[in-house]
Structure 1
Amino acid sequence: MSALLDVQNLSVSFRQDGKDSLAVKGVSFAVNRGETVALVGESGSGKSVSALSTVSLLPDSATVKGSITYDGQQMVGADKARLQKVRGNDISFIFQEPMTSLNPLHTLERQLRESIELHQGLRGDAVRDRIIELLHKVGIRDPETRLGAYPHQLSGGQRQRVMIAMALANGPDLLIADEPTTALDVTIQAQILELLAELKEAEGMSLLFITHDLGIVRRFADRVCVMKDGEIVETGPTAEIFDAPQHPYTQMLLGAEPSGQPGPVPQDAPQLVETDALRVWFPIKRGFFGRTAGYVKAVNEASISVRAGETLGIVGESGSGKTTLALAIMRLISSQGGIGFDGQDIQGWKSKQLRPLRRDMQIVFQDPYGSLSPRMTIEQVIAEGLGVHGLEPGRDRHEMVADIMQEVGLDPDTMHRYPHEFSGGQRQRIAIARAMILNPRLLVLDEPTSALDMTVQVQIVDLLRDLQQRHKLAYLFISHDLKVVRALSHKVIVMKQGDIVEAGPAAQIFDAPQTDYTRALMAAAFDLEADESVIGA
Structure 2
Amino acid sequence: MSAVLQVRGLKVSFRQDGETTHAVRGVDFEVGRGETVALVGESGSGKSVTALSTVSLLGDSARVEGSVRYMGAEMVGADEQKLMEVRGNDISFIFQEPMTSLNPLHTLEKQLAESIELHQGLRGADVRKRIIELLHDVGIHDPESRLGAYPHQLSGGQRQRVMIAMALANNPDLLIADEPTTALDVTIQAQILDLLAELKQKRQMSLLFITHDLGIVRAIADRVCVMKDGEIVESGPTDEIFGNPQHDYTRKLLSAAPRGTPPPVPEGAEEIVRTEDLRIWFPIQAGLLKRTVGHVKAVNAASLSVRAGETLGIVGESGSGKTTLALAIMRLIQSEGPIYYLGEDIQGWKTRRMRELRRHMQIVFQDPFGSLSPRLTVAQIVAEGLGVHGVEKGQDPRALVAQMLTEVGLDPSVMDRYPHEFSGGQRQRIAIARAMILRPRLMVLDEPTSALDMTVQVQIVDLLRDLQQKYGLAYLFISHDLRVVRALSHKVMVMKQGDVVEAGPAAEVFDAPKSDYTRTLMNAAFDLPGAAQA
1:120 lines up with 2:141 in the alignment: no
Whole-angstrom CA distance in 1 between matches of 2:301 and 2:351: 24
Contact 1:372–1:431 (CA under 8 A) maintained in structure 2: yes
Query: Structure 2: which amino acid aligns with 1:385?
Result: G
Partner of 2:75: 75
Tell me, yes or no, if the aligned pair for 1:36 and 1:222 is still in contact at 8 Å: yes
Structure 1 partner of 2:98 = 98
CA distance in 1, matches of 2:394, 2:186: 48
**Paired position in structure 2 for 1:292:** 292
Question: d(CA) in 2 for partners of 1:142 and 1:288?
Answer: 33
Q: 2: CA distance between counterparts of 1:98 and 1:351?
A: 39
The residue number in structure 2 matching 1:535 is: none
User: Runs ≥4 in structure 1, deviation > 3 angstroms?
Assistant: none
Matches within 5 A, 1:203-222: 203-222=203-222
Give the secondary-structure state (helix, strand or coil) at the position aligned to 1:161: helix
Read off the aligned partner of 2:521 and give its amino acid letter. L
Name the structure 1 match of 2:459.
459
Structure 1 pair 454–528 and aligned structure 2 pair: CA distance change class (3 A): closer
Task: Kindly state the Cα deviation for residue 325 of structure 1 after the two structures are TM-superposed.
Answer: 0.3
Gaps of 5+ in 2: 530-534
CA distance in 1, matches of 2:70, 2:125: 33
Paired position in structure 2 for 1:344:
344
1:456 counterpart letter in structure 2: V
In 2, distance between residues paired with 1:288 and 1:141?
Answer: 35
Letter in structure 2 aligned against 1:258: P
2:281 partner amino acid: W
Partner of 1:160 in structure 2? 160
Residue of structure 2 in register with 1:143 after alignment:
143
The answer for the alignment partner of 1:307 in structure 2 is 307
SS of equivalent to 1:420: helix
SS of the residue aligned with 1:337? coil
Q: How many residues align?
A: 529
Contact 2:181 2:192 in 1 (8 A): yes
8 Å CA contact 2:219–2:528 kept in 1: the answer is no
Contact 2:10–2:26 (Cα < 8 Å) also in 1: yes
Matched, 1:274 2:267: no
Where in structure 2 are the equivalents of 1:49-68 lying within 5 Å?
Answer: 49-68=49-68
Q: Paired residue for 2:435?
A: 435
Equivalent-residue separation in structure 2 for 1:20 and 1:310 (angstroms): 48
DSSP-derived class of the 2:109 partner = helix
Asked if structure 1 preserves the Cα contact closer than 8 Å seen for 2:9 and 2:66, the reply is: yes
Please report the TM-score for the alignment, with normalisation by the length of structure 2.
Answer: 0.99
Q: How does 1:188-227 map to 2 (within 5 A)?
A: 188-227=188-227
Classify the secondary structure of the residue corresponding to 1:261. Answer: coil
Per the alignment, residue 408 of structure 2 pairs with 408
Aligned AA (1:46): G
1:500 CA displacement: 0.4
The answer to whether the 8 A contact 1:3-1:33 is kept is yes
Equivalence for 2:390: 390
Distance 1:51 1:380 in 2: 38
Coordinate RMSD, CA, aligned: 0.7
The one-letter code of the counterpart of 2:127 is V
- Distance in 1, matches of 2:470 and 2:394, equals 23
Aligned-residue identity in percent? 77
Residue 287 of structure 1: how far off its partner (Å): 2.4
Task: Report whether the alignment pairs 1:129 with 2:123.
Answer: no
Match of 1:481 in 2: 481
Alignment correspondent of 1:361: 361
CA contact (8 A) 1:522 1:528 kept: no
Q: 1:289 deviation in Å?
A: 2.5
Could you tell me which runs of 5 or more consecutive residues in structure 1 were left unpaired when the two chains were aligned: 530-537
Q: List aligned pairs for 1:514-525, cutoff 5 A.
A: 514-525=514-525
Q: TM-score, normalised by structure 1?
A: 0.98
Equivalent positions of 1:312-351 (< 5 A) are 312-351=312-351
